[in-house]
C-alpha cells in the first residue's frame, strides 16, 4: 500500500491519535519515521497533539539536523538517541515511544525481573514472528533521570534480545519499532493491549506468562510442542 502522505503529515496525525490513547500526554512520548535516507521527529517537550508539519525536524541518518522548525527555542526530541538505536540496530522504519499507563504498570508487575513475558493471548499474533503458543519476551531496562541517557541500556537490551521489537523502561513506558510506521503502530497497539491484559489478569489472580494448562505449550493440533 503506497501512501501519498509525507512523514511530517503522518507524524502529526499519529501524535493526535496517540494523545487520545494516552500514549503521549503531558508532552511525553512520540514517534520518529525514517524514510529515503531521512529521519523525521518532533521537538522535545511540546504538546504532541498540537504539532503541525512545520514543527517536525528532519535529520540525516547520522543524526545531524538538516531542517529545524522556524519556531525559536525548540530542540530536537530527547528520545533521538533511542529512536536511532532502532534505526541503526534493527534497520527500523519507525519507532513509537509511549508513556501508556499499562506499559508502566507491567514493569512494576515484573518485580525485579528484567523482562515482561506472556503466552497464549491472541493479540500476540500481531507482533512480528510471534505465534499464539510462543512466549513473547520484552526486555525491561531501568529508568534514568534524563531520557537521552537511556540509549546505552536500550542498545544493550536489544543486543541481548535479538528478536525483541520493543523495550520497556521501568516506571516510564515503552519503545516499539517496526519496518515502517504502519507496522510500528499496529505492533504498539498489540503491545499495549497485551500489557493491559497482563495487568487485568494479575488483578484477577492470573499470570499472563503461564501456559493455560500445566506443562503448557503442548496442543493436539497446530501448536508447538
Tell me which residues are annotated as active site.
Answer: 122
At what angle are helices 151-160 and 80-90 packed, to 10 degrees? 30
Neighbours of 112 (CB within 10 A): 6
Rounded Cα distance between 6 and 52, Å, is 12
What single string gives the DSSP state of each residue in 122-147? GGGGGSTT--TTSEEEEEEE---SSG
Q: Report helix, strand and coil shares of the chain as percent, to nearest 5.
A: 40, 20, 40
Whole-angstrom CA distances from 175 to 15, 19, 104, 137, 199 are: 15, 16, 12, 14, 19
- Nearest in space to 69 (alpha carbons), one of 90, 87, 46, 49: 46
Amino acid at each position: 500500500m503506497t501512501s501519498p502522505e509525507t512523514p511530517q503529515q503522518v507524524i502529526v496525525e499519529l501524535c493526535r491519535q496517540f494523545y487520545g490513547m494516552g500514549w503521549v500526554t503531558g508532552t511525553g512520548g512520540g514517534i520518529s519515521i525514517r524514510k529515503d535516507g531521512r529521519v523525521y521527529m518532533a521537538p522535545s517537550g511540546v504538546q504532541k497533539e498540537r504539532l503541525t508539519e512545520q514543527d517536525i525536524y528532519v535529520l540525516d541518518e547520522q543524526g545531524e539536523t538538516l531542517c529545524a522548525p522556524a519556531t525559536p527555542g525548540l530542540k530536537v526530541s530527547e528520545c533521538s538517541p533511542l529512536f536511532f538505536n532502532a534505526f541503526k540496530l534493527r534497520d527500523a522504519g519507525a519507532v513509537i515511544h509511549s508513556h501508556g499507563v499499562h506499559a508502566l504498570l507491567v514493569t512494576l508487575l515484573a518485580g525485579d525481573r528484567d523482562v515482561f513475558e506472556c503466552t497464549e493471548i491472541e493479540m500476540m499474533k500481531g507482533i512480528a514472528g510471534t505465534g499464539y503458543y510462543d512466549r513473547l519476551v520484552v526486555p525491561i531496562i531501568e529508568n534514568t533521570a534524563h531520557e537521552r541517557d537511556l540509549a546505552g541500556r536500550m542498545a544493550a537490551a536489544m543486543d541481548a534480545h535479538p528478536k525483541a521489537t520493543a523495550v520497556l523502561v521501568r516506571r516510564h513506558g515503552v519503545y516499539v519499532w517496526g519496518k515502517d510506521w504502519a507496522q510500528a503502530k499496529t505492533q504498539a497497539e498489540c503491545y499495549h493491549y497485551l500489557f493491559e491484559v497482563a495487568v487485568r489478569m494479575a488483578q484477577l489472580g492470573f499470570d499472563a506468562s503461564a501456559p493455560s494448562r500445566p506443562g503448557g505449550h503442548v496442543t493436539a493440533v497446530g501448536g508447538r510442542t
